[in-house]
């Protein structure tokens, strides 16, 4: 659920061995019952395209273009801002590489295909419906200048 505040206290060891108390304030919390969390836990099915340690990719249930794939990180991140601020470098690389791998697998990447659109909706004004970060990959045809 968004809008709840949580405070995380942790101990951090710095170079000079001094111990600092780290105070982290997060204004959002992740909803473990969102539909993509359930797909990740295999509680509901999906048409899987690709999976590795960092991402899961599957076809959108309501495709808007000839090809409409979703790529989601395995970690619990609400949106791209949450991911950018809190994911590890490994997770960030894993997601970007995962998008490219899926695009290749679907024959859409620039090296073997004609391209595609990668799009992430963020929060209310971005029109995000599922509060687990996901990239839409639209392709298989010209997708136009904008997606409505
Ligand atoms: P958003 O509007 O949050 O960016 O996109 C959410 C997407 O998730 C939509 O395109 C919607 O069709 C898709 N979606 C919602 N529920 C399911 C589901 O249960 N399975 C799959 N594969 N896609 C879903």
Catalytic position from the list 68, 132, 134, 136: 134
Classify residue 78 by burial, with Cβ atoms within 10 Å: 0-12, 13-18, 19+.
buried
Which atom of ligand 1 is nearest to 130's Cα? 3
Q: What is the pLDDT of residues 71-120, one digit of tens each?
A: 999 999 999 999 999 999 999 999 999 999 999 999 999 999 999 999 99
Mutate to test the pocket of ligand 1, among 50, 70, 125 (most ligand atoms within 8 A of CB): 70
pLDDT for residue 148 is more than 90: no
136 assigned to active site: no
Ordered structural domains, the chain, with CATH: 31-139 (3.30.428.10)
Q: What is the pLDDT of residues 30-63, one digit of tens each?
A: 999 999 999 999 999 999 999 999 999 999 999 9
Which atom of ligand 1 is nearest to 46's Cα? 22
* Full-model pTM: 0.85
pLDDT for residue 10 is more than 50: no
């Amino acid at each position: 659920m968004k809008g709840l505040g949580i405070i995380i206290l942790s101990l951090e060891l710095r170079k000079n061995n001094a111990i600092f108390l780290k105070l982290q304030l997060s204004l959002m919390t992740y909803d473990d019952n969102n539909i993509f969390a359930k797909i990740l836990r295999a509680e509901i099915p999906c048409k899987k395209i690709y999976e590795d340690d960092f991402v899961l990719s599957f076809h959108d249930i309501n495709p808007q273009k000839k090809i409409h794939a979703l790529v989601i990180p395995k970690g619990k991140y609400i949106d791209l801002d949450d991911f950018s601020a809190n994911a590890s470098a490994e997770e960030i690389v894993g997601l970007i590489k995962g998008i490219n791998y899926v695009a290749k697998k679907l024959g859409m990447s620039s090296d073997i295909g004609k391209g595609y659109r990668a799009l992430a909706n963020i929060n209310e004004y971005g029109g995000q419906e599922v509060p687990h970060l996901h990239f839409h990959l639209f392709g298989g045809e010209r997708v136009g200048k904008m997606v409505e």
